[in-house]
Amino acid sequence: MRLWPPRSDRLYRTYAAGKEEKPVHSGGPRVIAVTSGKGGVGKTSLSVNLAVSLAQAGQRVSIFDADLGMANVELLMGLVPPYSLYEVLYGNKTVDEITVQGPLNINIISGGSGFLEMANMDRTRRQQLLIMLNNFSSRYDFVIIDTGAGINKNVLGFVAAAGEVIVMITPEPTSLTDAYALIKVLDNFKVHSEVNVVVNQAVDRREAMRTIGKVQAAVNRFLKIKLNVLGWIPADRIISHSIKNQQPFLLANPDAPASRSVAGITEVLLHGNAATSENGFWGKLMGLFS
């Protein structure tokens, strides 16, 4: 087992030199759901800074804030979207009209409470929305889905529809217990054959390894799902400062340990195997919610 160390400057050198990473996939965007068993573990912060890091590596990135009713992606980027997906479903807005642009041309869609009303849509309206969302996503290499926390229907719907999943955990016992519960549900319902794990708020590499070891031991004993370790992010005061200042820490402090850790996680994603959803993310998601 190898945990990515919090040190990787290659992405920054590449970005500074004006070079772009080659696309790591074809046939549509890689859709990655970032989720967690409990709230307060840094899931949204990872979503935002991972999007920034991917954009710095030359990837075209969008974020879908799917934490319905508790959207915070825009807040961490200092943005205030005037509309959400709800205005597309029940107003006269298009997906492009509700999209706001963040740093490095990262585009953000606020889910609002839109998908909660999906079941009430008629077939024609659902198809129109699907076309808009597919056209929107086709412009990107990565779509990051920032889900809510826990194992409710909304969270599991987004996680099940995504091609790849990142489960965020911390060394806290409650985080480990809730993360295992989430992974167990994904395994029991055969939602994914493997999940990616990132440890946040670790004091050092040793604590990160112990944390992963605890989850891995339980999974190996009781489940069949595969865990992939993407890396770990150290406890770093610049993270809380960036949240207060509503700016991604990777932009505010690119050389901080937390920033280098996210850069390392990005390298793993860029050069790893891409999983895809055969039926397409949006179509599969609509089927689950309707």
- 55-67 pLDDT, tens per residue? 999 999 999 988 8
For a pLDDT cut of 70, what percent of the chain falls above it? 84
Residue 243 lies in a domain: yes
Domain coverage including residue 269: 10-16+29-161+237-289
pLDDT at residue number 235? 94
Sign of the C-alpha dihedral computed for residues 44, 49, 50 and 55 taken in this order: positive
What CATH number corresponds to the domain at position 121? 3.40.50.300
pLDDT at residue number 115? 66
pLDDT at residue number 28? 83
Mean pLDDT of 126-132: 85
Q: Is the pLDDT of residue 116 over 70?
A: no
Residue 117 lies in a domain: yes
Residue 48 lies in a domain: yes
Question: To the nearest whole number, what is the mean pLDDT of the chain?
Answer: 86
Residue 279 lies in a domain: yes
- 25-84 pLDDT, tens per residue? 446 899 999 999 999 999 999 999 999 999 999 999 999 988 876 768 988 998 888 888
pTM of the model: 0.88
Total number of domains constituting the chain: 1
127: confidence class by pLDDT, cuts 50, 70, 90:
confident
- C-alpha of 149 from chain center: 12
2: confidence class by pLDDT, cuts 50, 70, 90:
very low
- 191-233 pLDDT, tens per residue? 899 999 999 999 999 999 999 999 999 999 999 999 999 999 9
Residue 185 lies in a domain: no
Mean pLDDT of 146-166: 92
Residue 47 lies in a domain: yes
Residue 228 lies in a domain: no
Residue 62 lies in a domain: yes
